[in-house]
Amino acid sequence: MCIFCKIVKGEIPNRTILESEEFLCFEDINPACKIHVLIIPKEHYDSFDVIPPKIMANMTEFIHKVASKLGVRQSGYRLITNIGNHGGQEVSHLHFHLLAGEKVGRLVGKES
């Protein structure tokens, strides 16, 4: 069982920001920004590539609620998901990083 499934089951504690029947948002334990939360579906999906579009539509609405609750919809935020090894995905459970609360720096990557 992956770490995020253990968090959903309550086996690993977290600092919950918002929760619904389908989704969970909690603080990242290693924040990269003033506000850094993770948003996950409670049901296990390996990545964005396999989540059914109807569930992703519900997740979009949940993410909007998270951004509103955090008070960052006006000032802006960065939303990131990594897919697969080359995309930098470290946990095989779909999750979005929401970064906000300060100006977010440029994305890490190769210069063109």
How many domains does the chain fold into? 1
Query: What does the pLDDT read at residue 109?
Result: 54
Banded model confidence at residue 100, pLDDT cuts 50, 70, 90? very high
What confidence tens digit (pLDDT) does each residue in 44-91 have? Answer: 999 999 999 999 999 999 999 999 999 999 999 999 999 988 888 899
List the domain range (segments joined by +) for residue 59: 3-100
Q: Is residue 11 included in any domain, yes or no? A: yes
pTM: 0.90
Residue 93: active-site member: no
Q: Which pLDDT score, from 0 to 100, does residue 59 have?
A: 97
Say which CATH number the domain at 74 has.
3.30.428.10
Q: Which of 44, 64, 93, 95 is catalytic?
A: 95
d(CA 41, CA 43): 5
Decide if 52 is inside a domain. yes
108 lies in a domain?
no
**Structural domain contains residue 73:** yes
The percent of residues above 70 in pLDDT, for the chain, comes to: 94
Q: Burial code of 49-83, b = ≥16 C-beta within 10 A, e = fewer?
A: eebeeeeeeebeebbebbbeebebeeeebeeebbe
Let me know if residue 21 belongs to a domain. Answer: yes
